[in-house]
Amino acid sequence: MIVAVKALHIIALITWCAGLIVLPLLLGRHRASESQSAYDRLRYLTHYSYTRLVTPAAVVAIASGTILIFMRTALTPWLFAKLVAVGALVSLHGLIGHTVVLMSERRGEYQPPSPVLILVGLFLCMATILVLVLAKPMISPEAFPDFMTQPLGRQLPFDETPI
Residue 64's identity, in one-letter code, is S
Looking at residue 162, its pLDDT comes to 61
Residue pair 77/143 in contact by the 8 Å Cβ criterion: yes
CA pair distance 50, 13, nearest whole angstrom: 14
Contact yes or no for 61/80 (Cβ under 8 A): no
List the chain domain ranges: 2-149
Per-residue pLDDT of the chain (163 residues; tens, 9 = 90+): 889 999 999 999 999 999 999 999 988 887 666 777 877 888 889 999 999 999 999 999 999 999 999 888 777 888 888 999 999 999 999 999 999 888 877 766 777 778 999 999 999 999 999 999 999 888 887 777 777 777 777 776 777 766 6
pTM for this predicted structure: 0.83
pLDDT of 25 reads: 92
Q: Cβ(55)–Cβ(95) under 8 Å?
A: no
pLDDT, position 34: 72
